[in-house]
Chain A
Amino acid sequence: MSEPMLKIEGVQAKYGDFIAVADASLEVPEGKIVSLIGSNGAGKSTLMSTVAGLHKPSAGKIYFKGEDITGLSADKIVTRGLSLVLQGSHCFVRMTVEDNLIMGCFPKHVRKQTKDSLERIYDLFPVLKEKRNDLAGSLSGGQRHMVAIGRALMSNPEMVLFDEVSLGLAPNTIKGIYSRIKEIHKQGTTILLVEQDTHRAIKTAEIVDVMLKGKVVLTGSPKELSEDEIKKAYFGI
């Protein structure tokens, strides 16, 4: 078996004295689309921030493409080809849509491909092309999500982490965004999706991980796992 693209081993993350992630282990094989589900407060978002380098783990190891990236800062991790799309619409609100996207090509080795990447993202989200000169702050929630996703894809990352992309969006918009995510996946990007919507996560993913109280308690393919099993793990009963 080949090395998994992302490997999380016994990661612990704290906010002050509060332990948000107790002991999480998880693997994402290359080219797969994996869902991480769990109830509110299970520690999913903290785990994502920790993997992406926004938060320093207090214990455990994180490997990306076999290399140890534990404790590296976010700007170094993204240069290695691992992008995180943050929960909520984290756009640069006082910048235009196009400037937002161009920021996705900030790492030096991808600056040359800025023009091509822009074309690619505009193909993926045509509405952004129309609004390219508008300030990101003036867009709707769904469009801001598109900007955030597009921006993360500009540098052609090998793997993208999505932290609750469907949060607070209309069902139609969610559908659109999910179909784009599947498209990206087909083009060869490895994906880790964090979701609260269990149903959608199971439908989309090839592997499902369930997180409870700061730990990953269940792993398996949606076909193997019964809905009952997942529910039990999700609620901790």
Chain B
Amino acid sequence: MENNGIALRKPVKILDGIPMLIICIVICIALYILGITKTFSNNTMRYLLKIFLYITMGEMWNLMSGFTGMTSLGQQVFVGIAGYSVAVFTSTFKMSMWLGLLVGAVIGVVFALLLSLILFRMRGMYFAVATWLIAEAVRLWFNSWRFVKQGAGMTIATSQIPKVRELYIYALTLCIIALVVVYILLRTKTGLGLTAMRDDADASSSVGVNIFKSKLLCYLICSLFIALAGGMFALQKGSVLPSSSFSIDWTVAMVFIVIIGGVGTMAGPILGGIVYVILSEFLAHFPGWSNIILGAIAILVIIFLPDGIIGTLQKKLNFEIFSQKRLSEPKKVKGLKEKANMA
């Protein structure tokens, strides 16, 4: 078969390594300084902190769906749990919002651990709808649970709500940690194995990765960060409601962010998060139209740019940002492909 070998593609430029690292660090430091020195107005920081939180959530949803093939429609359950935890600890128990956030994150992870027992028996669309069912069931539960004031919702004790500048710093920090965690995770054996599994279930078993453990790790990390981001969103809003804290709109946002940016790329959700916040702020001027337009944009992107903005640019211009491929990788991947074709 030598003569009908695989067509050679142009070498891919990988934007990675020291220069990229320096650029990232500079951007992060600049964002911190601009926040601390009050160079940004409160309004700007409000926008930016939303962007940071949405990037965190988008990156996590992408980790599950784009990199490991678990498409969840129920991650809003962690947003709601953490939000309620903050509300209960500050209002009912008169304690610190940090405790509320921490407990919310812990409950989120423990809940995720329990759910994994059920969810990991399912695949594809079953997984997707089961996660949604669970989120809806939890919402219904909160809706009739007296302790959290049923459908009326709760407010967060005002004394505990941080200033915009503080929240900005927390959100920025969370976002940076989330990005670093995803970056590192995808480069470990676990991450590479998961990507292999998404692309080809047989190939990954030959890599020798314990799929269950790897998927679980991703799911737990994802739940943890979404819970933290959700808790911060609750702090920003000052109140929680079953219908909005457990709303499917959170998942709509995450899906939108990932689709626009590019499924399975690390840079995609960053761009997606920025686009989402700007767009939804703009669409707030047209009450009722927001989701219609976001939905239409998402569908058009799926049809005409299935790889998203970043993914399409990467393919067209032959580069990859934060690539999973290292210099030694391409050879191995090719070997696998060739084997698959021979069979």
Contact = CB atoms under 8 A, between A and B. Distances in A.
B1 interface: yes
Contacts, number: 14
A22 interface: yes
Nearest to B343: A41
Q: Is the interface of B mostly helix, strand, loop or mixed?
A: helix
| Interface residue range, chain B | under 10
A38 interface: no
A75 B269 CA distance: 42
Contacts of B341: 15, 18
B7 interface: yes
A40 B289 CA distance: 58
A32 interface: no
Nearest to B342: A41
B1 A213 contact: yes
A57 interface: no
Interface string B93-130: 00000000000000000000000000000000000000
A112 B341 CA distance: 45
Interface string A17-48: 11100100000000000000000010000000
Contacts of A19: 4
Nearest to B8: A17
A53 interface: no
B1 A17 contact: no
Nearest to B1: A213
B28 interface: no
Interface centre among B1, B4, B6, by most A CB within 10 Å? B4
Nearest to A15: B341
B286 to A, nearest CB: 44
Interface string B1-27: 101101100000000000000000000
A150 interface: no
B46 to A, nearest CB: 48
A44 to B, nearest CB: 15
Given A18-B4, A213-B1, 7 more contacts: A15-B341, A17-B6, A18-B6, A19-B4, A22-B3, A22-B4, A213-B3
11 contacts: A15-B341, A17-B6, A17-B7, A18-B6, A18-B341, A19-B4, A22-B3, A41-B342, A213-B1, A213-B4, A214-B4
